[in-house]
Amino acid sequence: MLLPACTALEVTFMEKDQYTEAFRTINEVEDLLQKADALYEAVPEAIRQKILDYHSPRATLQYCLRWGLQAAYDIRVDWHRVVSDLEVDAE
């Protein structure tokens, strides 16, 4: 089945509370990924190795956690650059 091509929705305006909530959400995602990473690290090394062997190296839980954490960190640190083209209502 063929699906229609999707294009990014062009959003250029955001209410200040939406902007603030989005930033808080990114922080929460980063916190949850850190917790998930800590939980995963508690799995015995022998089992983590079996999980690594089971999946493609670029599709393991460990890989997803590592790069998910990096992405959340990068977005948080560069937040103003990421959303620089949005108009934010100052009220």
- Across 9-13, 30-34, 39-43, least confident range: 9-13
| Amino acid at position 5, single letter | A
For residue range 3-18, list pLDDT tens digits in order: 444 455 565 677 878 8
Report domain extents, the chain: 14-87
Predicted pLDDT of residue 5: 44
Collapsed DSSP state (helix, strand, coil) of residue 75: helix
Supply the pTM of this predicted model. 0.73
Distance separating the N- and C-terminal Cα atoms of the chain: 46
Are 76 and 30 in contact by the 8 Å Cβ rule? The answer is yes
Predicted pLDDT of residue 38: 96
Predicted pLDDT of residue 90: 65
